[in-house]
Structure formats: structure tokens, C-alpha cells
A = this chain, B = another copy of it.
């Protein structure tokens, strides 16, 4: 919301399509031994030495998935990569390469795309992935981003969504609901800003949840941790659409039911206090919020001793037979059927 009113502006037409991708990607260095050839030919060349290749792709649309009035472009570049790496980690695989394509209307100057790619570059550097391809083109309206991520894994390490069994423990990483509440705070400040552009928002009390929204981190560390702990989940998924929706995916694909315990859902103090401020129920936010990019997985009960002391991992329930269905067990010990409250982009 605080922006330079006279930034340097170079129109995209001055560079042309070929110059543009060259310009935007000139400082990207290949970090992965599997990246044989990156940008600059018809296609990138990768070499995974016989390991399995893992591929995931996601699209982000301005006005649907992000709002540039409070999402800095560098953060958007970073988040676009994170969203895709998260899917690779959710297979218990290591991300190795990304392709990033972007369509922008001519209201975006070159400097805006440079900011976006600076975020992509930072994500690539911190997560050790290589940018190996992409496309830049014009759109008739707004900005649209498509990222494809590639990764590798040993066949035996790969974790699908369909391996959960009755009595497995349901485990979640980190804490939930922050990204959604961060978005509510940003939306509120945007409305205030519209009424009074001189007003400087104080986001300090909300810094944790605003960062969860604007600059999420994919849980590469969890894949490494699970390997170190010698735990192979029986099923795994990343939480992009809300806990409830992801649990139902695991249940459906694994043909099992689930009991989720309300009092076990990990919440940051900021999430609890901000929920109260917005007069929202923090459990509903964790169940339906989405965009936390934490990992949700199931493990055999015999693996519990290996994970129980870890502050990154919280057991929030257990799987049951399919006929028992999927339920939330509330603090009052009543059972409520879980429904997908996941964010649905077509209801936007």
C-alpha cells in the first residue's frame, strides 16, 4: 500500500518477447546437477539418473488468487514457486526444477516483472531449485502465472494420497489458519486505505499471519526431517485448500474414515487473538482457511515414538474404517461430520 508514485517504467514493447525472457532470467544460475540445459532452447534437458521424476503444476490468477494492491510482486513470485514446491514435497520428493510462465497486460512495466522474478529467484536460491523454462506473453487483462515444478524421489520413498489405513495417526506440520486470517487483515486494511489513503496501517501485531499469507514457505524441511526420523508416511497431501478438504481427500482416496480432534489442531496465538477480533471461530478457520502450505500425513502407530517429541509435528487424529465416516470430535466431545469447506475458486 506504500508505493513509489514515480517508479522507473520501461515498457515491455521496448524489449520484445525474446529480449524479455532473456533479460528476466539472466541472473538465474543452475544449481541442480540434474539440470543439463536450462532456458535458451526449445526445451530444458533434465537427467534424473533413473530416479522417479515428479511433476506438478498450478496457476495463479490476479483477482482470483491474489490482489496486487497488497501483494508485493516479489512476494508473489516467491509464493508462486512455493505453491508448486509444496506439491512436490507432499509426494515426499525433493523439488529440483521449475518452469515459470507469466501473462501480463501492458499496464505492467518491465520493472514490475523484474520484481516478480526477483521473488522467483529468491525462492529458487533458498530451496535449491533451478528455473529451466517458461513463457512470457501479454494478457488482455491482469496478471496470470503458471508454474510447473519437477522433482525426484526414489521409488520407495514416494508417498501418495491413497495409502492411509484405519488406526493410522493423522499428523499435521506447523500451525493452521494463519494465511487465511492474514488475508482478512489485508482486506480490512485495503478498505480503510480506500476511505483514507493517508492512513498508515499498523500491521505489526499481525506480522506473523500477514507473512503466512504473503510469503508462505513450502515444507522442504519436513521431507528432510521425516527421512532423518526414518518415518515414511502412509499417505500425504499439502494443505492448500484447508484442513477439512485435505482430510477428505485422504479419506476418499485411501478408502478410510477419520476422527479429527478439535483440541489438537495447532493454532498460533496470533490466530487465536485475531479470530476473536474478527469474531470468527478459530477451528472453522483452520478447517476451511487454506493457503497454509503445511503438510498433512498419516503414519503407522508404530512410528509414533519417532515423531512425538518433535515441535514441528502434531498428531491431530486417527484414521478409522470407511463406514465410520470422517468426523470432527469437538472440545465438548460431540462428533460433527467433516465437510469440504475448502476454498473453491469458481465461487469467487
Q: Show the binding face of A for B, using Cβ within 8 Å.
A: 12-13, 15-18, 20, 36-37, 40-50, 52-59, 61-65, 86-88, 90-91, 93, 97, 99, 101-103, 106, 132-135, 137-142, 144, 146, 148-151, 153, 155, 158, 160-162, 236-238, 249, 253, 340, 342, 344-348
Q: With A and B bound together, what is the CA distance between A18 and B245 in angstroms?
A: 10
Q: Say whether A61 contacts B140, CB under 8 Å.
A: yes
Across the interface, name the chain B residue whose C-beta is closest to A87.
B42
9 tightest CB-CB pairs across the interface, nearest first?
A: A146-B146, A43-B56, A42-B90, A46-B53, A42-B87, A63-B140, A148-B148, A141-B141, A57-B99
Q: With A and B bound together, what is the CA distance between A341 and B93 in angstroms?
A: 44
- Given the interface pairs A17-B345, A59-B101, A62-B140, the reply to whether A44 lies near B48 with Cβ below 8 Å is no
Q: A41-B161, A45-B55, A48-B50 are in contact. List 10 more A-B contacts (CB 8 A).
A: A13-B344, A20-B346, A40-B161, A42-B87, A42-B90, A44-B55, A47-B50, A58-B135, A61-B140, A64-B139
Q: Contacts of A158 on B, CB cut-off 8 Å?
A: 45
Q: Contacts of A146 on B, CB cut-off 8 Å?
A: 57, 59, 101, 135, 146
Q: Say whether B57 contacts A47, CB under 8 Å.
A: no
Q: Say whether B65 contacts A137, CB under 8 Å.
A: yes
Q: Contacts of A50 on B, CB cut-off 8 Å?
A: 47-50
Q: Contacts of A162 on B, CB cut-off 8 Å?
A: 41
Q: With A and B bound together, what is the CA distance between A148 and B40 in angstroms?
A: 16
Q: Say whether A91 contacts B160, CB under 8 Å.
A: no
- Given the interface pairs A140-B63, A146-B101, A346-B12, the reply to whether A133 lies near B45 with Cβ below 8 Å is no
Q: Say whether B13 contacts A103, CB under 8 Å.
A: no
Q: Say whether A57 contacts B142, CB under 8 Å.
A: no
Q: Contacts of A253 on B, CB cut-off 8 Å?
A: 40-41
Q: With A and B bound together, what is the CA distance between A90 and B149 in angstroms?
A: 22
Q: Say whether B64 contacts A135, CB under 8 Å.
A: no
Q: Say whether A137 contacts B93, CB under 8 Å.
A: no
Interface centre among A13, A18, A158, by most chain B C-beta atoms within 10 angstroms, is: A18
Across the interface, name the chain B residue whose C-beta is closest to A91.
B43
Q: Say whether A103 contacts B61, CB under 8 Å.
A: yes
Q: Contacts of A47 on B, CB cut-off 8 Å?
A: 50, 52-53, 155
Q: Say whether A45 contacts B41, CB under 8 Å.
A: no
Q: How far is the CB of A102 from chain B (nearest CB, A)?
A: 8
Q: With A and B bound together, what is the CA distance between A81 and B314 in angstroms?
A: 43
Q: Contacts of A59 on B, CB cut-off 8 Å?
A: 101-103, 135, 137, 144, 146
Q: Contacts of A149 on B, CB cut-off 8 Å?
A: 43
